Amino acid sequence: GGGGGGDYCADEYTYSCEDAGANAVKVEVYVAATGERVATTTTRKDIAGWMKSKRAARAARQDDDETATTTTTTSSAGLAASTATEPIPPPPPPPREDIEEADYLKAQLKWTLSMNGGDPNDKAVCELVDALEAHWKSKRTQQSDDEMLSLWSNKVWKAITRAEFPGSLGLDEHGRPMFTLTRMSFGRFQPGNTKVAIIGISNEVGDASYVFDVLFEVKDGPAEGLVGCMRSLASHQYVGDGARFDIMFHSGTFAPSRSVECDASASRIWASAFGLHSAVSHLEGGIFTAMDSSGAQEYRFLDAIEGYVDVLYLDDDMRITRGNQGSVQVVVNYDNKAN
């Protein structure tokens, strides 16, 4: 209780919790059998409560198992404890000596991001990114440009860091970053002051194409609560300056999710909120088509929006980049079932 620390055993790992202030808690993870520390991170304060509840649930299940030997009746309290649905953090990465250095660092990074809400600016995340970048650059001289391009292209990547770029409106009640539609569409889309929360980001990279999908929930206005997708279409080109790719955004789509499209009432609300703006042929540097029957509309920029990303780490499983505005993004290969 309070700000004190404590050890809470969770299966084969022991978690040591210590108050870190600002609604955060420092968590150190040890192998229960050996006492070896395998991870350290700072995460939400409610993790300590989760560990306590997990221990209580396990004790309740053990009591139920003992009771089951003498009676066929299961108590409702025991059933509730054994079927509790509180979120369970993923297991910590394995001990360092069991895997290769890069795999160990990646496992640490994935686990830390899963525990801190995907914050790319977390100190532990920054240290792991720096370590992976140094490791990759030490091997980069042994890798041809063609080999790097084969790892970069023809994959669907999904982000495990939350969006962190200029114009953030903070986090919503679920810890998701919020922005305006104007910010999400390079200042070209209206109604620009509509607030949205980003649910997830994916990036499909082809030989020359670069498709950036942002799934979002509308947070205010008549369409509040509806889910949509902003798809930005671009081309990419390897610059060769270290590991830099130029990205040129030229068009995209703005559409409701399938659940909205299939709901007549939600579709009408979506069209009312966004359809009036699609009839304008020239709008803040873009050309927009009329909204179709599904609620989708397309837009094309009169002049391509140009940017770049520097690759900090790249293999068949993970890609880490820093954009031209300084934001770091960690993505994993969507086709890898382990992700």
User: Most confidently modeled of 133-142, 178-187, 217-226, 283-292?
Assistant: 217-226
Residue 39 CA to residue 315 CA, distance in Å, equals 23
In a domain, 321, yes or no: yes
Residue with the bigger pLDDT between 281 and 236: it is: 236
Both 72 and 185 in a single domain?
A: no
Residue 154 and residue 253 share a domain: yes
Which tokens hold the place of 17? 């919790």
pLDDT, tens digit, 9 for 90 and up, residues 241-293: 679 999 999 998 989 999 999 999 999 999 888 876 544 444 455 677 778 88
Choose from 69-83, 136-150, 179-193, 284-298 the range with maximum mean pLDDT.
136-150
pLDDT of residue 107: 92
Do 172 and 307 belong together in one domain? yes
Q: pLDDT tens digits for 292-318? A: 888 898 888 888 889 999 999 999 999
Residues 86 and 150 in one domain: no
| Most trustworthy range by pLDDT among 82-86, 183-187, 189-193, 297-301 | 297-301
* pLDDT score for 85: 39
Mean pLDDT, all residues of the chain = 77
Mark whether 302 and 161 lie in a shared domain.
yes
Q: Is residue 161 part of a domain?
A: yes
Same domain, yes or no: 53 and 162: no
Q: Say yes or no: 46 and 150 in one domain.
A: no
Position with higher pLDDT, 283 vs 40 = 40
**pLDDT confidence bin for 182, thresholds 50/70/90:** confident
pLDDT higher for 320 or 59?
Answer: 320
Domain annotation covers residue 119 = no
Q: How many domains does the chain have?
A: 2
Q: Average pLDDT, stretch 169-191? A: 84
Residue 173 in this model has a pLDDT that exceeds 80: yes
Give pLDDT, residue 99: 65
Indicate whether 46 belongs to any domain: yes
Is residue 42 a part of any domain in this protein? yes
Using alpha carbons, select from 35, 64, 49 the residue that is nearest to residue 2. 49
Residues 246 and 304 in one domain: yes
- Please indicate, yes or no, if residue 128 is contained in any of the structural domains: no
With respect to residue 118, please indicate whether it lies within any of the assigned structural domains: no
How is residue 93 written in tokens?
A: 């990465």
Domain co-membership, 157 together with 243: yes
Looking at the fold, whether 204 and 301 belong to one and the same domain comes out as yes
Amino acid 82: pLDDT: 33
Q: What is the per-residue pLDDT for 22?
A: 52
Q: What is the pLDDT of residues 237-252, one digit of tens each?
A: 998 767 999 999 999 8
Last residue of a domain, one of 76, 92, 108: 92
Burial of 148 (0-12, 13-18, 19+ CB in 10 A): middle
Asked if 223 and 270 touch (Cβ cutoff 8 Å), the reply is yes
pLDDT score of 5: 38
72 pLDDT more than 50: no
What DSSP string runs through 67-107?
A: HHTT-SPPPHHHHHHHT-----PPPPPPPGGGS-HHHHHHH
Q: Considering 57, 92, 127, which residue would you say is the last residue of a domain?
A: 92
Residues 199 and 75 in one domain: no
Query: Does residue 88 share a domain with residue 170?
Result: no
Mean pLDDT of 136-141: 87
Report how far apart the first and last C-alpha atoms of the chain are (Å, whole number): 35
| This prediction's pTM | 0.71
Residue 338 lies in a domain: no
Domain with 308, as residue range(s), is: 142-333
